[in-house]
Amino acid sequence: DILMTQSPSSVSASVGDRVTITCRASQGISSWLAWYQQKPGKAPKLLIYAASSLQGGVPSRFSGSGSGTDFTLTISSLQPEDFATYYCQQANSFPFTFGPGTKVDV
């Protein structure tokens, strides 16, 4: 199975900050990586697919980059509604696996 790791596990930030989250795969997954946002008590929401493609309706302050084993999610200017937990997921091979999550809070 492909192990996904994320860093940091949590980050304290303020509105307007630039936030970067890193995701690493235990083996190469090309660009088969997605990012999700989850708020408490809610289902996850797809933000980014194919490592850098923005899902429809997602604000342009979210961006993704990387390929192979190392990926990043960047929020260019944190907004109040962005405080949440973020997960990466490899879509390269079965079983599809998620990172442990990064909590972005105040």
User: Which spans of this chain sit near another protein (rule: CB under 8 A)?
Assistant: 31-32, 34, 36, 38, 43-46, 49-50, 53, 55, 87, 89, 91-92, 94-101
Q: CB of 78: closest distance to another protein in angstroms? A: 22
DSSP characters over 3-71: -EEEE-SEEE--TT--EEEEEEESS--TT-EEEEEE-TTS--EEEEETTTEEPTT--TTEEEEEETTEE
Q: CB of 106: closest distance to another protein in angstroms? A: 20
- 3-class SS of residue 102: strand
Q: CB of 46: closest distance to another protein in angstroms? A: 5
- Cβ proximity to another protein, 34 vs 78, nearer residue: 34
- Angle, vertex CA 92, rays to CA 91 and CA 97, nearest 5: 55
- Cβ proximity to another protein, 37 vs 82, nearer residue: 37
- Cβ proximity to another protein, 13 vs 46, nearer residue: 46
